Amino acid sequence: MPAEPQPRPRLSRRTVLAATATATAALGAAGASFLQTGAPAIAHGDRLRVEPLIPERNRGIILYSVRDRIAAAPDDSGVPYGFERVLARLAEIGYKEIEFAGYNQHTSILGRQITPAEIRKILDDNGLKANGTHTQINPDTFEAQMDIAQTLGMANIGTGNDPSNSNYKSDWDAAADVWNELGRKARKRGLRLYTHNHDAAYSFLLDAGPLDANGKPTRSSGVRRLEYFFGKADPRYVFFEMDVFWSYVARYKHHTFTDRNGNPRTDLFDPILTVAAAPKRFPLFHAKDGNKNTAVPNGYDMVPFGEGDIQMQQFFQTIGERDFHHANWEQDTAPGGAANPGQSLAFADLSYDNMSELTIYT
């Protein structure tokens, strides 16, 4: 008989913080050695090593961040436009992976629309790999979307939309049935099906208390929408891309609910613990940063990666599985418009530099 699976250790904020504390202690010990001996703190052959927190091969970008330049017509700005020029620039910056947000460019570049096969050649010519896409996940078009995904050589196919926008379990149950079936089809073709979150995905279900005039619950048991779907979706077939920014917006916005007895309750969402509890369900991340700003509804303003208040070092260090996880930089607000057509690519450059500077001591 196979061995009984061992229970997962219970995660807590204490264990989350311990990961960072361990690295700090190691650095402290190395620094003390330097002070006492005058020798370099980290010498060749020592146990302590510094390594990239996000491996170079796993650093990516979703093209939504530079959508203005992908879609641009040829111009005299000197800024790259269209797939061929923009992807070449991203490879020059250092990105190794591309997540797509559509497959079209301005038709004036070729006199027609570019094809997925032509985009694949551009990827290959620049040493780039497609790691996913945001497309429509619809049973009627799913086979055609998988054809495109396989032409582009990606391992994951996904969407930027939540599986359901509903407050109620029955709708999420129905969504899970559809996604489990589509995920099974994707697996047969060597693909992983994934969904990407916005903040509302981590708001609370209405699943308890008195019913309204339509027979729907009006209060909550404290279960969050996507966490409920997480349990209903088959882990063999359905995966997730956590958007770090929107997850921290959810932490800011969705922290109270009304229980079945009408009492207000508080439950603070923790993005780190959500991933750390099941890291292999999250192959992809949107590495999206933000500055705290309580004057805006979301509580954060989007900024280039590494320029905000979200503790990306703690996040990516604690969730572990560095070789499995792929980080795609995204900033919805990166395009600068006609006044600054080079802004999105400049932010891509800055964000890559900051991503590459995240390190871990092992």
Number of domain units in the chain = 1
168 found inside a domain: yes
| Residue-wise pLDDT tens digits, 309-355 | 999 999 999 999 999 999 999 999 999 999 999 999 999 999 999 99
Q: Distance (Å, rounded) from C-alpha 85 to C-alpha 254?
A: 41
Q: Distance (Å, rounded) from C-alpha 347 to C-alpha 331?
A: 9
Q: Is 196 helix (H, G, I), strand (E, B) or coil?
A: strand
312 found inside a domain: yes
192 found inside a domain: yes
Q: Distance (Å, rounded) from C-alpha 109 to C-alpha 74?
A: 7
2 found inside a domain: no
What is the pLDDT at residue 306? 97
CB atoms within 10 A of CB 352: 21
| Residue-wise pLDDT tens digits, 143-160 | 999 999 999 999 999 999
DSSP letter (8 states) at residue 2: P
Q: Distance (Å, rounded) from C-alpha 258 to C-alpha 154?
A: 43
- Judged against a pLDDT cut of 70, whether residue 28 lies above it is answered with no
What is the average pLDDT across 2-21?
44
Give the structural domain span for 173. 50-361
144 found inside a domain: yes
Give the CATH number of the domain where residue 212 resides: 3.20.20.150
Q: What's the alpha-carbon Rg for the chain, to the nearest Å?
A: 22
Nearest to 236 by CA among 298, 199, 286, 186: 186
Q: pTM here?
A: 0.88
What is the pLDDT at residue 167? 97
Nearest to 94 by CA among 298, 355, 305, 302: 355
